[in-house]
Amino acid sequence: MARGELTFKLLPLHEKYGPVVRIAPDELSFTHPDAWKDIYGHRVGSNHNVLELPKAERFYRTQGTLPNIISEEDRAHHGLVRRVLSHGFSDQNLRARESVITGYAETLIRQLRKLSVSASDEGPSVNMAEPDLVEKILQKKDAWNLSDDEIVGNAAALLIAGSETTATLLAGLTYLLCKHPQAMGKLRREVRSKFKSDSEITLTSVLELKYLLACLDEALRLYPPVPIGPPRTVPAASGGVTIAGHVVPGGTDVAVWHWPMFHYSAHWDKPMEYRPERFLQEGSASGPRYAGDMRYNNKNGEHSGDRLDLLQPFNIGPRNCLGRNLAYSEMRMVLARMIFNFDIELVEPEDDWMEKQRADFLWRKGPLYVHLSPVNV
């Protein structure tokens, strides 16, 4: 794990031994479809004697960590903090704050246009006076009974979770599109035929870009921003629980590791290849995919064996990522405006930027150098 290689070593182990692999004396990795719900979801039914598997303390409660929604173990208090924070991530709030997202996207494009024609060390202009989620929490901290440590801890957690992961995915997607010129060309045609100006690119209008969403989802599969599996612990006093049909004793840490699950050949056709088209063949269901709902999986076509329902980069259950909708909104907006305004090429096309990375909780990624050629729009 210290070398950042375990994520990649798990896949051949699963390919050889199947959907359950023991990776330590008291730790299991799962790629079975049922593992998503059995580990991270609400556990209901006669065969489930534990309502929810707690987060692994060794992973989330490291020394010096301030309390936050990611590390909180107590179900009741986690629910309270989640309800407090959820207001900032609601669809209604996203629509109300669209001008903020659009403003940052415009600043990015403006600065990149400057840098694409002349060297400059000028930083982007940022409006620091805009009220944010933390300000609202500070106003209600007494009513919600939140400590100063909780506010600081959650602010830091949201900053890291909301910035680094989105930036990582956009960097990975840029690399993948540059490595696959056919996909890049198809995306350019979709974006540039849809819009005539930047002002037309809104949070609502980008929802109509089906191929852009497919490109994003396929990048999330090949290069999930969090490649590891967030571990849960089977309570020692539980007498064991059933996960994916296997009885797992108390005291065992269990997880679905994202990168192996998203590359497992039992679930994906040509799993190592970047093929956005696999996400254009979805079945009868629409909206967010739910693990185990087979309606999302098309029974026909080239990728008929793909388990699209198993792509869960934001996790599932009562502790899934609060920022899912915000992340998709940001990524769609930034990607659409980047493709609309620039032709993008790798500075070193032969450099295997993604393939040579290692991973801890996040990727150990180096700089990605690209040429930006402004498009006359």
From the list 344, 350, 352, the residue with the least C-alpha distance to 370 is 344
Q: Is 178 annotated as a binding residue?
A: no
Q: Which helix (H) or strand (E) holds 36?
A: helix 35-40
Q: Which SS3 state, helix, strand or coil, does residue 364 take?
A: strand
- Show the tokens assigned to 264: 């497992």
For residues 27 and 6, the answer to whether their CB atoms sit within 8 Å is no
SS3 content of the chain, % helix, strand, coil (to 5): 45, 10, 45
Rounded to whole angstroms, how far apart are CA atoms 101 and 328?
12
For residues 65 and 153, the answer to whether their CB atoms sit within 8 Å is yes
Q: Diameter of the chain by CA atoms?
A: 66
Q: How many whole angstroms from its chain centre is CA 28? A: 22
For residues 322 and 89, the answer to whether their CB atoms sit within 8 Å is yes
From the list 101, 92, 176, the residue with the least C-alpha distance to 337 is 101
Classify residue 55 by its DSSP letter.
Answer: B
Q: Which SS3 state, helix, strand or coil, does residue 126 take?
A: coil
Helix axis angle, 75-86 relative to 133-144, nearest 10°? 140
Terminal Cα distance for the chain, rounded: 48
Rounded to whole angstroms, how far apart are CA atoms 322 and 84?
11
From the list 182, 135, 187, 172, the residue with the least C-alpha distance to 362 is 172
Beta-carbon count within 10 A of 125 CB: 9
Q: Residue positions in the annotated binding site?
A: 321
Mark the binding-site residues for heme, compressed into ranges: 321
